[in-house]
Amino acid sequence: MSETFAQGYALLVGIGGDLPNTVNDAVGIADVLKDPMRCSYPSDHVQLLIGEVATRIAILSALDQLAQSTDSQSVVVIYFSGHGYRVTSPMGKSYYLLPSGYNMNQLYETAVSGTEFTDKLRVIPAQKLLVLLDCCHAGGVGATTVTGLELVKSPLPPEAMDFFLKGAGRVLIASSREGELSFAGKPYSAFTLVLIETLCGIGLARMDGYVRVSDLAMHASEVVPRRTADRQHPILHFEHADNFVLAYYAGGGTEPKGLPFSSEPEIEPEPGAWTISGQSYQTVRGSQANISGDVQGLTQVGDINMQVGFFQPCWTILGGVMQAQRDIVVSRDFRHESDALTQVFADLVERVRLLPADDQVVVKPLVEQVHSQTQKIQTGDASHDVQSGLERRLKNLVAMAPDIGEVAVATLADPSAGIAMLVRKIAQKVQNELKSSAK
């Protein structure tokens, strides 16, 4: 029987958008923190803001909620993965965390300034506070029309430094140094991967059942540079802090439960190498072709007709000639959904609307992610990442909203739903695992 780390509270933010990996990273940490066999935080103590939900208002409100729900004995973890910029304007210099929906011409109203962020941290009563920032991702904002505005990627809000230097129970760890970029990866970024490893019991100084702040800091400082060919170095500000206990790593036991994923982790060769923007296409494995652009409906090549958008006796383009090949899926543009897929998720959306407003903030993004992963498979992206992503999202949905999650799993596993075979197999696997765990 696992114990609950009842004093643990967390806020995980992944902005998504042009940084899709940030969503996976935030969800991955949230899953480990709530896992009763690992960190064992109470589920209702963990706030997850991802994608379109991770707005300025939502982030500031979540920080306010932490201030109201915690006390001096609480342990608080705040994780933000997105863009962070030092901005120079005719009015001076400021730092901004860029949430979902930011507007470069209205940063004051649409982003979170370093001063705002620090002020929110100050009123959190917890004497044990850890802030994790992964802000120096490749790519970035588009052009701004504001004259004289200069932006530089920056890992830390300067306004927060005094706050962390003065507090004995306050720790700040950033993913990289000034001037460096953060490496993405599969299933998680280089920085987030070491965080999850440590929270699962890897790289600890003592195997006594607890993860301490120094464990996280030391594992990150050692492993991230090694995995990135010495090109990314986390910044550690914990010299003046107590080495407080952050979480369990085995639900109150001492024997680690292993990592929550089976695939071998990969780190991109260069920052941004795996991020491709402005295109809508899927890569298929083996002898392959990438089918892109606004392809839809019935397409004819030579004497061969193929219905685009569903699993077919698959084709690949070789020298302009269509050849049959197994295990490849013909795809179409993501903007066009099948009617069957829309119908499957219509009921789930209605069920979400019946939830209390606070629950909708968490559950709605999960339903949207399940929809997105299902759509990707339906329209041709059958990669391992997409398959494992759908499986993980379905499990998360069941954990956070059992009634809706179980309906989603049952519907996707139903052959009459008009969903691709691979989606049904994934849903059936999740369904079987849920039945086994319930016995």
Question: Is the peptide bond preceding residue 155 cis, with omega within 30 degrees of 0?
Answer: no
Same domain, 302 and 413: no
Q: Which residue has the higher pLDDT, 405 or 111?
A: 111
Same domain, 242 and 358: no
Same domain, 259 and 208: yes
Strands 304-307 and 298-301: antiparallel
pLDDT band at residue 55 using 50, 70 and 90 as cut-offs: very high
Residue 297 has a pLDDT of 35
Q: Which residue has the higher pLDDT, 134 or 385?
A: 134
Q: Which residue has the higher pLDDT, 411 or 298?
A: 411
Print the domain residue range for 299.
281-324
How many separate domains does the chain show?
Answer: 3
Same domain, 316 and 182: no
pLDDT for residue 324 is more than 50: no
Same domain, 304 and 263: no
What b/e string do you get for 343-378 counting C-beta neighbours within 10 Å, with b at 16 or more? ebbeebeebbeebeeeebbbbbbbbbbbbbbbbbbb
Residue 326 has a pLDDT of 27
Same domain, 133 and 27: yes
pLDDT band at residue 385 using 50, 70 and 90 as cut-offs: confident
Residue 191 lies in a domain: yes
- The tokens for 335 are 């903007």
Considering the chain, what percentage of its residues have pLDDT values greater than 70?
Answer: 78
Same domain, 92 and 222: yes
| Distance from C-alpha of 250 to C-alpha of 33, rounded to nearest angstrom | 11
Residue 334 lies in a domain: no
Same domain, 70 and 142: yes
φ/ψ of residue 349, rounded to 5: -60, -40
pLDDT for residue 85 is more than 50: yes
Q: Which residues, including other chains, have CB under 8 Å from residue 333's CB and lie 6 or more apart?
A: 280, 292, 293, 294, 295, 296, 379
Same domain, 211 and 131: yes
Residue 328 has a pLDDT of 27
Last residue of a domain, one of 267, 291, 307: 267
pLDDT band at residue 368 using 50, 70 and 90 as cut-offs: confident
Same domain, 210 and 88: yes
Residue 400 lies in a domain: yes
Residue 72 lies in a domain: yes
Residue 331 lies in a domain: no
What b/e string do you get for 75-86 counting C-beta neighbours within 10 Å, with b at 16 or more? bbbbbbbbbbbb
Same domain, 229 and 143: yes
Question: What CATH number corresponds to the domain at position 93?
Answer: 3.40.50.1460
* Contact (CB, 8 A) for 128 and 167: no
Residue 276 lies in a domain: no
Specify burial of residue 393 (Cβ count, 10 A radius: 0-12, 13-18, 19+): buried
Q: Which residue has the higher pLDDT, 242 or 250?
A: 250
Residue 275 lies in a domain: no
Residue 376 has a pLDDT of 80
Residue 379 has a pLDDT of 72
Backbone CA torsion sign across 154, 160, 161, 165: negative
Residue 377 lies in a domain: yes
Same domain, 302 and 396: no
> What's the pTM value of the predicted model, to 2 decimals?
0.65
Q: Which residue has the higher pLDDT, 2 or 38?
A: 38
Residue 141 has a pLDDT of 65
Length of the chain: 439
Provide mean pLDDT across the span 157-176. 80
- Indicate the average pLDDT of the chain: 78
